[in-house]
Each structure stands twice: as C-alpha cells, then as structure tokens.
Amino acid sequence: MITSPNPLRVLILGAGSGIAQATARLYAAEGATVGLAGRNVERLAVIAADLKARGAAATESFDVDFTATDAAATLAGMVAKLGGLDHVILAYGVLGDQALADRDEAAAMAIIDVNFRSAAAWTLAVANLLERQGKGSLVVLGSVAGDRGRRSNYVYGAAKAGLAVLVQGISHRFRGVGPRAVIVKPGPTDTAMTAGMAKGGPMWVTPEAVAAVVRKAADSGGPVVYAPGRWWLIMAIIRNIPASIFNKMNF
C-alpha cells in the first residue's frame, strides 16, 4: 500500500490505450501516484516503469477484465492500494466492426457490452465512491461518434451516446455535492483503435493533444468537453443537418 497522502492519486481504467498512456505521462510529470488498470499486465509494467522515470511518485498496476469484474468491489481494492483517490480516468473501449455488427447480433452486443454496459458499471461505481468521499473528479472518454448515428459506426456511437448521457446525469447529481464528472469527446485520434483507417489531414489529432484536454477536464470545465474544442462546432453543425440531406452523405 502507498502511504504518502500528498501526491495526487489517479486511477486510469484502460491504461493501455494511447490516450490513457499520454494522460498518465502528464500526471507522472506532476509527481502523481498513478494506478494503471487493464488486462495486459506485461504492458502495464512497461508503462509503469516509464511513468516512474518521468516523475511519478509511485505506480500500482491492476490486472482487470472490466467486462467480467464486480466494479464496486474491485474499485474498493484499488483505492485501498492507492491510499485514496483524487482523479479517475475511464479510457477503455473498442471500436468494433460495424459491417460484422450489421449481420451478427453477438458482435453488436459485444461492442455495446464493452462501451456501455461495462463502462456504465464502472462509471457508477466511481461516482458512488466520489460522492461518499465528497470530492474527486471522474473523466470518461466518449466520442463525437455518439453525437449522431452514421452507417460506418452507429453501434459504437450508440454506446458512446448512452455513456455520455450517463456522465451528464452524474454531473448533474454532483452539483453542490463536491465531486465532478466530465465526458470528453475526442474526434478522430491516431491510436491503435484506429489502426487500419486512412489517417492524416486536419481532422486527425495525436493522443497527446487529447490527453491535454483530458488532464484539464479533470480540474475544470464540463460536463461535456470536445477534444479538440473545434469539434463542438463541427458536431453542432452535423447534428442539425436535416435527415433528408444527412442520409445522402457518405461519411
């Protein structure tokens, strides 16, 4: 157990993702204590060593299958190991294969299971913890895909839309109580999740650019934050395109 109460104590759920790693490096540079949760313990060990070299006060790694674990009970064990909790970043998810999901119900449900059912369970568990302690920040990674259904990724987008409403509701619940909850919606980001996509151009950003938004959102802003901020305007336009026009578009 880590005993020093002074460094900021951060738990990252889905610590192996590109955005999560970039965010963890920002916390490490601040001298935070960083908890890393994910399924690939060997990868987490490498990330932890890197964070220690970058200035993290301490690290703890947690081997967790988020879809198969009792979120509340597992979270309690993590908090005990970290000696408390100030910030939680929920960063895991899968894009899935929309074409497969179109014809295979199990594939569609698998996308929803990870991106909504499991993420919702962990989000609610964290919310209850933060409410009990009367402080702390929860930042959940959503997606601009949740703002309007598109043929290319609407199952993923539907799950992210549900998650966004959940976090917005928690933020409302927290008003005047002490903790904070924020949904961060990145646009296209160059990570392992988007491997295989044609990348490049002004719409794509790096994990580091999104991480800077996530880190800031843990301190202020919300309950909905776009990463980068220009996606607020882009999605406002896309949401308001009439269906008669939108459904003829190929994107």
Any idea which residues carry the catalytic annotation?
Answer: 156
- A 10 A CB-CB count for 135 gives 12
Residue 22 makes CB contacts below 8 A (sequence gap 6+) with: 206, 207, 208, 210, 211
Closest CA to 166 of 144, 191, 183: 183
| Residue 90, amino acid | L
Phi then psi for residue 191, to 5 deg, are -130, 180
Rounded distance between C-alpha atoms, residue 39 and residue 206, angstroms: 24
Cβ-contact 123, 166 below 8 angstroms: yes
Cβ-contact 123, 167 below 8 angstroms: yes
